[in-house]
Chains A and B, each alone.
Chain A
């Protein structure tokens, strides 16, 4: 089965009907194992038990960028290959990506409070994640601004690609901006490389969260396809009644 076979929404729906339960089960198992391992992981010698926030925070932060990558590929699918499901994929991914980014920010703030003594620090990394979150919201606003999905899809695709081009520049400039204003006084993760006791649960959690994203994304795509079908049925009904 290639990507082009999936262009038929009916085939896509039947495939996801078969795949989704397995994905959901795999996600649940991985996340359960991950949470168990995270709970069993030793306390950090400096951070104590708060280090366990990392096991939720890092996968969310990773996904916040990964989802924009998925949307960029989908945007290419919309603009270059005109794949009929690409815009569905892009539209379904945006709110999920925004949610992961939001969770990364919130868990980061909760972690920052005991560690740095403040919920928010204008640290370069925090700031660029916040900008990423704003860009997700802008993209979602763009999706909602147009009622014709295919028009909205092309506009959103261009914005997604421009954003993908711009995000590294923003990241770089925010790094510059922060080092200009204050030296790196904030304690950073990853100075000493992670011990296996932390690394293995973290990897399990990262894979689990990625699977969670795939599951949610496929389910959201299904919903979007069904929503469009309902909409076109309603339109047909309305035009029949009018005639």
Chain B
């Protein structure tokens, strides 16, 4: 347990320090969201309608952008080999790394959501709905994305491949995240149903992600 806690602390510390790149994700999220009105037009009612979808897409792309960092830096300096060989089960170590990555790169996205919601002319209900669904859904993005990151790191130059592999897997999360936000804003469906399914997707990814990532690290690293 102490080993896992130490791993989480270490990963967060590295991510937040110079060269860590955790906050790049937020910057990217901000930039993508700011770009949207340029493409769509400064039409506030339209932006209100598209707001949840824009925020979700931005968060999805931002979390994809930073996923590459999950294993590559550790692979380059050799600490990934130590983690693989260590006594802590690799599945738990992978889960800890993903958790740390989410805390450092995923949580800031949710903190930034209210500001961006304001810019997209979302009211308080809509903004809190989007923030809540992001809180429930982004862990699933990190944990399923981890599978792609683990595959990519074993392939040496897999960075480009990562997006192609991970994006189709994130479709369910996107669907239910946006559906829950829209349900909270305009109905007619209850917010609870898609939100529960979103939580279920996250829970499933907590189980599947670490095992698949650990398997691909074990098989792939030499």
Contact = CB atoms under 8 A, between A and B. Distances in A.
Contact size range, B:
20 to 34
Contacts, number: 80
Contact of A155 (B155, B169, B171, B189): B155
Interface string B181-222: 000000001000010010001001000100010011001101
A183 B220 CA distance: 46
Interface in A100-133: 131
Question: Majority SS of interface residues in chain B?
Answer: helix
B165 A142 contact: yes
B164 interface: yes
A79 B175 contact: no
Contacts of A159: 147, 151, 165
Interface in A156-177: 158-159, 161-163, 165-166, 169-170, 172-174, 176-177
A155 B149 CA distance: 11
A103 B179 CA distance: 31
A166 B176 CA distance: 15
Contact of B155 (A145, A162, A165, A169): A145
Interface in B126-181: 147, 151, 154-155, 157-158, 161, 164-165, 168-169, 171-172, 175-176, 179
B175 A154 contact: no
A172 to B, nearest CB: 8
Given A142-B161, A158-B147, 4 more contacts: A131-B171, A137-B164, A145-B155, A180-B179
Interface of B: 147, 151, 154-155, 157-158, 161, 164-165, 168-169, 171-172, 175-176, 179, 189, 194, 197, 201, 204, 208, 212, 215-216, 219-220, 222
30 contacts: A79-B219, A131-B171, A135-B168, A137-B164, A138-B164, A138-B168, A142-B161, A145-B155, A146-B155, A151-B155, A155-B216, A158-B212, A159-B151, A162-B147, A162-B169, A163-B169, A165-B208, A166-B168, A169-B172, A169-B204, A170-B172, A172-B172, A173-B171, A173-B176, A173-B197, A174-B175, A176-B175, A176-B176, A176-B194, A177-B175
